[in-house]
Each structure stands twice: as structure tokens, then as C-alpha cells.
Amino acid sequence: MKKILVFALLLSVTFTSAQNETIHPKFEKQGDIILATYYHNNGEIAQKGYFNKANKLEGTWVSFNNKGTKQSIGQYTNGVKVGKWLFWKENSLREVDYNNNVIANVGEWKNKTHLAIAD
């Protein structure tokens, strides 16, 4: 249930905006996978990630707020959250470790902690 709620929350970011104009997602076939890019109504990228041949989330997915600032990054394997996910919020960074779609560990860093994060 948590995974459905989190995914629905991430997708809802795509559809919320003060404007009424809808920007349709873009899908690009890259071999056996499809790169999906969803947009905020202001044209900024909301989410970017891959679908596999079975139409399940695959590989790295990244979400952004409507100003283009990264909000989260994580990995899917055949539709299942795996590994380390990072969630940025105001002055903190939350690290969530997933094991087969189940939260295994959560860590959080506040604004006074210095981190190096590669894009």
C-alpha cells in the first residue's frame, strides 16, 4: 500500500499547477526500454525514468518540483523499489533504503551537514 501511495504522490506532482494548460508526457523508445518524461504545466520536467518491456518501472527515476529543483531519485527493478532512494525537502536530505519494495532503513541529514551528491 505504501508503494502505491508514494508512486501516486510522485505522479500527482505532475498534474498540479495553477495553470490549466496540460503538457503531455514524452515517451522515447531506447532499445527494449522506454524513457518517459512527465512535465509540470509550466514546462519544467516533473519526472523522468524508464519503463521495461513489461511496462513496469525500471532503472533510475528522478522527480523535480515545478521550479526544476530535484526532489527525489531512486531505482526500480521490474516495478519494485530497490536500493538507496534520496528525497530532498527544504533544508534536509532523507535517505531511504529499499529491499524488494520494503523500507529497510531511513536516515536524514539537516542543513548543517555537508554532502557531496553527483548528478
Give residue-wise pLDDT tens across range 93-108.
999 999 999 999 999 9
76 within some domain: yes
116 within some domain: no
Please give the residue range of the domain that contains residue 34: 2-17+25-109
DSSP β-bridge partners for residue 77: 80
Q: pLDDT at position 90, please? A: 83
What pTM value is reported for the model?
Answer: 0.73
115 within some domain: no
What is the DSSP secondary structure assignment for residue 31, as one 8-state letter? T
Residues of the chain with pLDDT under 70: 1-20, 112-119
Q: pLDDT at position 21, please? A: 72
72 within some domain: yes
68 within some domain: yes
Q: What is the CATH number of the domain that holds 82?
A: 2.20.110
Q: pLDDT at position 11, please? A: 52
Q: pLDDT at position 6, please? A: 47
DSSP for 48-86, written as a single string: EEEE-TTS-EEEEEEEE-TTS-EEEEEEEETTEEEEEEE
Q: pLDDT at position 110, please? A: 81
119 within some domain: no
The total of structural domains in the chain comes to 1
118 within some domain: no
80 within some domain: yes
